[in-house]
Amino acid sequence: MNKFKSFLVNLCRTLLAITFIFSGFVKSIDPLGTQYKIGDYLEALNLAGKVPEWIQLITSIGLSAIEFTLGVLILLAIQRRLVSKLTVFFMVCMTAVTLWLTIGNPIQDCGCFGDAIRLSNSMTFGKNVVLLTASIVVMKWPLYQVRFISKTNQWIATYFTIVFIVVASVLSLYHLPIFDFRPYFIGQNIKKGMEIPKDAKPTVYKNTFICVKDGVQKEFDEKNFPYDDSTWVFIDSKQEIVEQGYEPPIHDFSITNEETGEDLTEAILTKKNYTFLLISPFFEVAEDGNFGEIDYIYEYAKEHGYDFYGLSASTDYGVKHWRDVTGAEYPIYTTDGTTLKTVIRSNPGLLLLYQGTIINKWSHNDLPTAEELNAPLNLLSIGHEPEDSTWSKIFAIVLCYILPLILLIVADRIWAWTQWVKKREQWLKEKEQWLVKKEQSNKLYQLLKRKRQMRKKIVAGNWKMNETLQEGIALATEINDALKADKPNCDVVICTPFIHLASVANVLDKELVGLGAENCADKEKGAYTGEVSAAMVKSTGAEYVILGHSERRQYYGETAEILKEKVQLALANGLKVIFCCGESLEEREANKQNEVVKAELEGSVFNLSAEEWKNIILAYEPIWAIGTGKTATSDQAEEMLAYIRSIVADKFGKEIAAETSILYGGSCNAKNADELFSKPNIDGGLIGGASLKAADFKAIIDAWKK
């Protein structure tokens, strides 16, 4: 279907392009002819004389140039959407005009193709209906038009076309139309052009005679005309064409001497010698700047025995005005104005006849000069019919317009191709770079994955100050049993109050669940009533201790210095430290979280050796998320844990940072654990409330299995 659409659109577009280019061109090279046609339309609209001639001329040049340019734009598929809409608009207007011509017949020839092709009004209308349909097809699918020139360079073709056609128009106006499609071309014998072949079909006319008798008017034809009844008085007659017969190319040429009423056509057209005819449809509006040259040619004609006549449809006043202004002495005879406009597109223009054949034609801007007229005409080249120059004119157009346009298109295609090659090279380069990057990031990802696999994944419970001894033993037993039944794939730790430690140690399978304290003293041993030392913790069977919890910092005034001591003692006694850090709500709101966390780590654990660091687990617990039900989002948590890992890397190196387990704590529960644990820097959780129910705690542990 798409192939068919493309075929149809390109067929319609070719038809439109050829028609527009041809009709635009033939009108452009005959701007005066097109102006006369515009005059005919104005007359049919009763606007004759209301629009100045110069406006008609500019309209003629403009309209023809638009039509030609539109044709070229369609041909090259430039501005496809806009041009297709303009074409439809143009065709709608033209079809409406030709419909009016077909119905009302106000003008015989629409002038669509200038004088090159003449169509009857109904044929023109039919042609426009076809073209309108074609333009609608193109407008419906404008992008199916195959481009010949890239978007970047199409403006060159557009402006070049406009300049070409306007220059061709102006040159045709200044000189004469480049191609002469009228019956008065060079080489035409006017008399022969008027001949009707013997076997030609004659035009059949119907004559009607109007007579009156006793005040009664009646129409008669040849058959019933009252030849014998003289009481009928003839008053008028009319003639209608019943059937159009052969019409010779020249059918309206005659020369009359107005003063004598004598028809001089035959006499002038059969002259044995050269005859100059100065043609001016109307002397009133003729260009009179070249009268010197005209007078010289007249004198030259007299001297060599050639006839020189003026032909015009001017009024006596117009002729007198011309004689007064130019001093013209040559005889001026009368010929129909429209005929004279057809004979030569120049006012005035000069025609040279030899025995009734047109030998040469000149615009008033190109009249032969005294230097050229230096001998009798038969000895001069201008006295002989020039060689047919049609091919040299076509060659000139090819050289000035078609060839540069083709070269432009070829250059554009080469340019587009090099652009494509460049883009492709660039694309291949980018693809290669992308593959390298992908490879690198793959490697990095694998490395991080390996490291992450090396890091311990931990879920640790912090019972805080909850559970009696019996309750604690029962909870620990339940957790232990659940994990025995369904083995975890991460490290599990429960941190209990001091009083539970020894008893809970007895119920836990060490391989499955690690045990930890929630605190230890900052003194080694001695008279510190109520305190429990790291050594004592270790002696219960516990392996971990939570230090730096925000609740201890907040409620028991544990400073960075105290914590530093505790950490040292815990490590010295073989305990692993789960070291907590985290900012308050005000600190986060002030965007100080990084600086607070860094200070906490620097104050208590960054003094450790790399060896000691191996027994440190970090836990980021934003104070605003602890026990509030307000979890940090997984992105917030990930961002902070990545930051913590980066400062650990700065302190201990990337390798150690990659091996450090960092947990998140703060309203972590069975629902959000999956999401939190999916982040690359979150190695597990430090769980408060949710660690007090075996099922909830187990569900968080199981999040690592997903």
Compare residues 73 and 641 and give the one whose CB is closer to ligand 13P. 641
- Residue range at the interface with ligand 13P (CB under 6 A); choices 46-54, 636-644, 661-669, 698-706: 661-669
Judge whether 321 counts as a catalytic residue: no
Asked if 493 is part of the footprint of ligand 13P (rule: CB under 6 A), the reply reads no
DSSP 342-406: HH-SSSSEEEEEETTEEEEEEETTSPPPTTT-SS-GGGSGGGSPPPP-HHHHHHHHIIIIIHHHH
Kindly state the smallest distance separating residue 499's Cβ from ligand 13P, in Å.
19
Whether the CB-CB separation of 75 and 17 falls below 8 Å is answered with yes
Kindly state the smallest distance separating residue 671's Cβ from ligand 13P, in Å.
12
Compare residues 538 and 552 and give the one whose CB is closer to ligand 13P. 552
Judge whether 549 counts as a catalytic residue: yes
Binding flags for ligand 13P, 531-560, as an x/- string (CB under 6 A)? ------------------x-----------
Asked if 497 is part of the footprint of ligand 13P (rule: CB under 6 A), the reply reads no
Kindly state the smallest distance separating residue 560's Cβ from ligand 13P, in Å.
18
Q: Report the candidate in 90, 75, 89, 94 with the shortest Cα–Cα distance to residue 15.
A: 75
Tokens of 363: 């615009």
Q: Which of residues 617-646 bind ligand 13P (CB under 6 A)?
A: 621, 626-627
Compare residues 71 and 497 and give the one whose CB is closer to ligand 13P. 497
Compare residues 648 and 686 and give the one whose CB is closer to ligand 13P. 686
Measured distance CA(312)–CA(284) in Å, rounded: 10
Asked if 667 is part of the footprint of ligand 13P (rule: CB under 6 A), the reply reads yes
Compare residues 637 and 686 and give the one whose CB is closer to ligand 13P. 686
Measured distance CA(135)–CA(556) in Å, rounded: 89
For residue 629, the 8-state DSSP code is: S
Kindly state the smallest distance separating residue 501's Cβ from ligand 13P, in Å.
17
Measured distance CA(97)–CA(110) in Å, rounded: 9
Residue type, 23: S
Altogether, the residues listed in the chain come to a count of 706
First-residue to last-residue Cα distance in the chain: 51
Asked if 462 is part of the footprint of ligand 13P (rule: CB under 6 A), the reply reads yes
- Residue range at the interface with ligand 13P (CB under 6 A); choices 52-60, 318-326, 441-449, 664-672: 664-672
* Axis-axis angle for helices 80-104, 53-76 (nearest 10): 130
- Residue range at the interface with ligand 13P (CB under 6 A); choices 318-326, 476-484, 496-504, 685-693: 685-693
Kindly state the smallest distance separating residue 425's Cβ from ligand 13P, in Å.
57
Asked if 703 is part of the footprint of ligand 13P (rule: CB under 6 A), the reply reads no
Chain residue whose CB lies nearest ligand 13P: 688
Compare residues 373 and 546 and give the one whose CB is closer to ligand 13P. 546
Asked if 689 is part of the footprint of ligand 13P (rule: CB under 6 A), the reply reads yes
Q: How many residues bind ligand 13P (CB under 6 A)?
A: 14
3-state secondary structure of 128: helix
Q: Tokens 């600190």 appear where?
A: 587
Whether the CB-CB separation of 494 and 483 falls below 8 Å is answered with no
Asked if 24 is part of the footprint of ligand 13P (rule: CB under 6 A), the reply reads no
DSSP 573-598: TTPEEEEEE---HHHHHTT-HHHHHH
Question: For residue 662, what are the β-bridge partners?
Answer: 618
**Burial call 310-324: b when 16+ CB within 10 Å, e when fewer:** bbbbbeeebbebbee
Q: Report the candidate in 517, 511, 509, 503 with the shortest Cα–Cα distance to residue 473.
A: 503
Kindly state the smallest distance separating residue 427's Cβ from ligand 13P, in Å.
52
What is the pairing mode between strands 357-363 and 332-334?
A: unpaired
Q: Report the candidate in 488, 447, 458 with the shortest Cα–Cα distance to residue 661.
A: 458
Compare residues 24 and 688 and give the one whose CB is closer to ligand 13P. 688
Compare residues 339 and 667 and give the one whose CB is closer to ligand 13P. 667
Kindly state the smallest distance separating residue 549's Cβ from ligand 13P, in Å.
6
Compare residues 493 and 687 and give the one whose CB is closer to ligand 13P. 687
Kindly state the smallest distance separating residue 555's Cβ from ligand 13P, in Å.
13
Q: Which of 467, 549, 583, 600 is flagged as catalytic?
A: 549
Whether the CB-CB separation of 146 and 77 falls below 8 Å is answered with yes
Whether the CB-CB separation of 183 and 358 falls below 8 Å is answered with no
Tokens of 223: 């058959």
Q: Which of 293, 587, 600, 621 is flagged as catalytic?
A: 621
Asked if 492 is part of the footprint of ligand 13P (rule: CB under 6 A), the reply reads no
Question: For residue 204, what are the β-bridge partners?
Answer: 243
Kindly state the smallest distance separating residue 464's Cβ from ligand 13P, in Å.
7
Using only the alpha carbons of the chain, give its radius of gyration: 53
- Residue range at the interface with ligand 13P (CB under 6 A); choices 253-261, 521-529, 639-647, 666-674: 666-674
Phi and psi at residue 180, to the nearest 5°: -105, 105
Selected binder of ligand 13P within 688, 696, 700, 702 (CB under 6 A):
688
Q: Which of residues 368-397 bind ligand 13P (CB under 6 A)?
A: none
Tokens of 421: 């090659």
Compare residues 150 and 628 and give the one whose CB is closer to ligand 13P. 628
Is the peptide bond between 248 and the residue preceding it cis, with omega within 30 degrees of 0?
no
Asked if 666 is part of the footprint of ligand 13P (rule: CB under 6 A), the reply reads yes
Kindly state the smallest distance separating residue 582's Cβ from ligand 13P, in Å.
9
Binding flags for ligand 13P, 291-310, as an x/- string (CB under 6 A)? --------------------
> What positions carry a catalytic annotation?
549, 621
Residues near ligand 13P (CB under 6 A) are: 462, 549, 621, 626-627, 665-668, 686-690
